[in-house]
Amino acid sequence: MSFKNVQSLFCLVFLSLFAAISANAQGVIVPIICDFRPCRPIPRPRPIPIPNALPVKSIELDTRIEGQVATTHVEQVFRNDTPYTLEGTYFFPIPETASIVEFAIWENGKKLVGEVRSREEARRIYDEIVRRQKDPGLLEYAGKDLFQASIFPIPPHSDKKLELTYTQVLKAESGTVAYRYPLGTGRNLWRNSNPGIENINRPTNNQKFGTVSGKIKIVGREALRNIYSPSHSIDVRNKGEKAASVSFETSNNDNDFQLFYGLSNN
């Protein structure tokens, strides 16, 4: 798909600058006011402040675990309740041993899929398109732990939906497999100001959460036993000895979702 006429930007880069951000944090969008591109680095004062991070309207998690390999697809809907057009910087902490399969943004009812590129290729394309005053749609995998994507435009009083799919190898200790989806966004992200993020007119409240729901399908090579979550109330439905489905739904809860299950050769 060509992105020459797409007005959405999601260029993903690894940021060592934000190494202090907890790895236990789901994706956030850090906004700045941007009436037109290129955005001004320091917007003039506005009577209505913008939040540190856009509120999360909903998160839908769809995970399939086969053996110890988990494929997680997440749909995140963020809300811009301000009267301004915003440009947002999206951060997502990819779990250790994970790799990105796909990243996409929804624009005017259409799903726009970014391309996975190297850091050098992403920067070259980005600079070239900026010179032509056009916005790229590309995704860069340049390491692990933390990724950045720039999202533009985020219209006033509107939702912005993003999709992310990644795979990871789950750890198993003493016959117990552990799965975690990070949700704890608002705890330490804005404790200290950062020179890379504009802080003018920013309120001090943490990021707000809406509905978080998830479906996890487990297919084991061995019999499954003792499926439980210490963090959320879950519904477990076994499908024979080696398969099960897990679901949950919660509101205003930013605790990491944790799931454990045992494997048995017997």
Q: Residue 127 phi/psi, 5° resolution? A: -65, -40
Query: Is the CB of residue 66 less than 8 Å from the CB of residue 179?
Result: no
Position 170 scores a pLDDT of 95
Contact in structure between 172 and 82 (CB atoms under 8 Å):
no
* Contact predicate 224/243, CB 8 Å: yes
Q: How confident is the model at residue 99 (pLDDT cuts 50, 70, 90)?
A: confident
> Domain 16-34+49-192+209-264 - what CATH class?
mainly beta
Helix or strand holding residue 131 (H, E):
helix 119-131
CA–CA gap between residue 143 and residue 103 (Å, rounded): 16
Q: What whole-number distance in Å separates Cα of residue 61 and Cα of residue 164?
A: 10
The pTM of the full predicted model, rounded to 2 decimals, is 0.72
Q: Residue 61 — φ and ψ, nearest 5°?
A: -110, 130
Range with the poorest average pLDDT among 2-16, 50-64, 117-131, 212-226: 2-16
Residue with tokens 């001090």: 204
What the block records as the tokens of 171 is 């750890």
Residue 176 CA to residue 241 CA, distance in Å, equals 16
In this prediction, residues 62-91 reach a mean pLDDT of: 92
Q: Quick: pLDDT tens for 123-136.
A: 565 556 455 544 44
What letter does residue 258 receive in the DSSP assignment?
A: E
Closest CA to 112 of 87, 92, 137: 137
pLDDT value of residue 260: 98
165-176 pLDDT per residue, tens: 999 999 999 999
pLDDT for 80 beyond 60: yes
Length of the chain as a residue count:
266
Q: Which of 220, 262, 252, 224 is nearest to 55 (CA)?
A: 252
Of 26-40, 96-110, 213-227, the one with minimum mean pLDDT is: 26-40
pLDDT of residue 144: 40
Residue with tokens 């998690």: 61
Query: Token digits for 19?
Result: 């190494």
For the chain, give me the number of helices (H) and strands (E)?
1, 17
pLDDT digits (tens, 9 = 90+) for 172-196: 999 999 999 988 644 443 333 333 3
Average pLDDT over residues 211-217: 96
Pairing verdict, β 158-169 and 69-80: antiparallel
CA 17 – CA 39 distance, rounded (Å): 21
- Residues forming a β-bridge with 173: 176
Measure Cα distances from 227 to 32, 170, 181, 196, 219 in Å: 43, 15, 16, 43, 12
